[in-house]
């Protein structure tokens, strides 16, 4: 993936490094395309927690927050207290 915010690029890099899959764009639906399934979703959560130093509780899980790289980046920015993500 090229372009996108710094947070989107960081999440895309995490997909490459930890899940060994590239995501074509920030707006690709990760569930509809099969990039994320239930097992990979759990792997993603663990990787996000480790990389960004945050904890995600079951109560705050909303699948729509993880549907695209853009939405994941916005969630991480809110949760980890990073700079706001433009357009999110």
Which three-class secondary structure string do you get for 56-88? CCHHHCCHHHHCCHHHHHHHHHHHHCCCCCCCC
What is d(CA 61, CA 4) in angstroms, rounded to the nearest whole number?
Answer: 24
Q: Which helix (H) or strand (E) holds 39?
A: helix 38-52
Q: Is the pLDDT of residue 87 over 90?
A: no
| Average confidence (pLDDT) over 46-74 | 93
Q: Is the pLDDT of residue 7 over 80?
A: yes
| Average confidence (pLDDT) over 55-64 | 91
What is d(CA 38, CA 31) in angstroms, rounded to the nearest whole number?
Answer: 9
Q: Which two tokens stand for residue 13?
A: 């890099």
Angle of helix 38-52 versus helix 69-80 axis, rounded to 10? 40
């Amino acid at each position: 993936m090229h372009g996108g915010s710094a947070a989107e690029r960081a999440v895309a890099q995490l997909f490459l490094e930890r899940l060994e899959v590239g995501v074509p764009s920030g707006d690709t639906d990760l569930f509809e395309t099969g990039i994320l399934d239930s097992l990979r979703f759990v792997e993603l959560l663990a990787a996000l927690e480790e990389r960004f130093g945050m904890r995600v509780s079951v109560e705050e899980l909303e699948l729509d927050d993880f549907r695209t790289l853009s939405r994941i980046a916005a969630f991480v920015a809110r949760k980890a207290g990073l700079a706001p993500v433009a357009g999110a």
